[in-house]
Amino acid sequence: MSENIPVEDIIYLDHHATTPMDPEVLEAMIPYFTDHFGNASSVDHLHGVDAGRAVANARSSIANLINAEAKEIIFTSGATESDNLAIFGLIPYEDVEGKHIITSEIEHKAILESCSYFAKLGGEVTYLPVNQHGIIDYEQLERSIQENTRLVTIFAANNEVGSIHDLSKIGEITRKHGVFFHTDAVQAIGRVKIDVRKDKIDMLSISAHKIYGPKGIGALFISKRSPRVYLTPILRGGGQEGNVRSGTLNVPGIVGFGKAAKLIKRDMKSMNTQFRDLQAYLWEKLKKRIPDLQLNGPPLETRLPQNLNLYIPGIESKSVIQMLSKRFSFSAGSACTTDVVKPSHVLMSMYGDENRAYQSIRIGLGKSNSREELDMFIDSLVKGYSLLQNMS
């Protein structure tokens, strides 16, 4: 990409990766960098009490978003830490051998890499396959539960293809067998109504920067009701966060997270209506102009409202992205690790087709996007598609 192009002039269509911070969130955070700079653990003076009060308010706002109690919200550095804490807090490193956990083949890397390490330490992991809509077989999940199964961790919504799991159904199965249920709900929060009580969720990971909040702050819901979840800390120190996650609290980040949670709860219905409109508009327009275009994952009506994952047969996604990168930001259906491009593990699990995995793009819509922006994207994508087709 040319260095002369201002990034603010590029249309952003990658909101699954991150979202821009809402101005109201930034406004709420700024005083906690300057005037209200106290350490929330310093309870002996007003600066600390002031910071502690701000943290408590944010904790309540986040809990309210998922029908939890404030004391059940533990702040972390992000969803990756929350996912790790859910697994290795429940089953400590030294106690892994002989224990069994169940997950899906298309989880976020924070779960899959943790499960891989769990297996290296002597634990047993069952990876459930998914269908072409990116959904596990719930009956297979129940059949996979063993006497030594301690945890089922299944995402609420997938970050690549937008598939949404029936959390209540998973919760019924796990509760019936006395197994703990954790879900990575990073992509689902603000898009899907989640009720940790109704859905029988024992642990849930969320992150602020996917809901127009700041980066570097996340949370883990840990149930304190029956069955109560007890976690061993994976970070040791001053005993903050109920001695589950030590470390000085990121007060500005927490304040921003709380504000973002309030806003996303307030605006969820209207925002999702906007996304559904843009999603349908983009899909209908594109498929008329690119006849070979196919949808990866579930139908529009059952996927995340801001998600489109598109298979363009015969056209490498990397080439499309490079061609359009001066005007648009979006991502491939494959993930890049250092200099090695690997096919998306999500699409490979769903379709078993490496070409499809390399020839897919992901669009993540945001609240600032408009039909006019999508029209520009459609025109550019169609032109790029025609050019690449001719070149090949």
Q: What residues are annotated to the active site?
A: 336
Contact at 8 Å (CB) between 289 and 382?
A: yes
Structure token digits, residue 176: 């019936």
DSSP-derived letter for residue 303 is B
Q: How many CB atoms lie within 10 A of CB 9?
A: 8
Q: State how far Cα 332 lies from the chain centre.
A: 17
* Cis check: omega of the bond before 227, within 30 degrees of 0: yes
Q: How far apart are the first and last CA of the chain?
A: 23
Element containing residue 122 per DSSP (H, E): none
Indicate left, alpha or beta for 21 from its phi (over 0: left) and psi (-120 to 50: alpha): beta
What is the residue-wise DSSP string for 203-227? EEEEEGGGTT--SS-EEEEE--SSS
Please provide residue 342's backbone torsions phi and psi, each rounded to the nearest 5 degrees.
Answer: -115, 150
Greatest alpha-carbon span in the chain: 71
* 104: nearest Cα among 144, 76, 63: 144
Q: Which ranges constitute the DSSP H helices of 290-316?
A: none
Degrees to nearest 5, angle at CA 178 with 172 and 179:
80
Handedness of CA 324, 329, 332, 337 (dihedral sign): positive
Rounded to a whole number of angstroms, the CA Rg of the chain reads 22
Residues forming a β-bridge with 184: 205
What is the residue-wise DSSP string for 147-167? TTEEEEE--SB-TTT-BB--H
DSSP-derived letter for residue 233 is -
Q: How many CB atoms lie within 10 A of CB 31?
A: 13
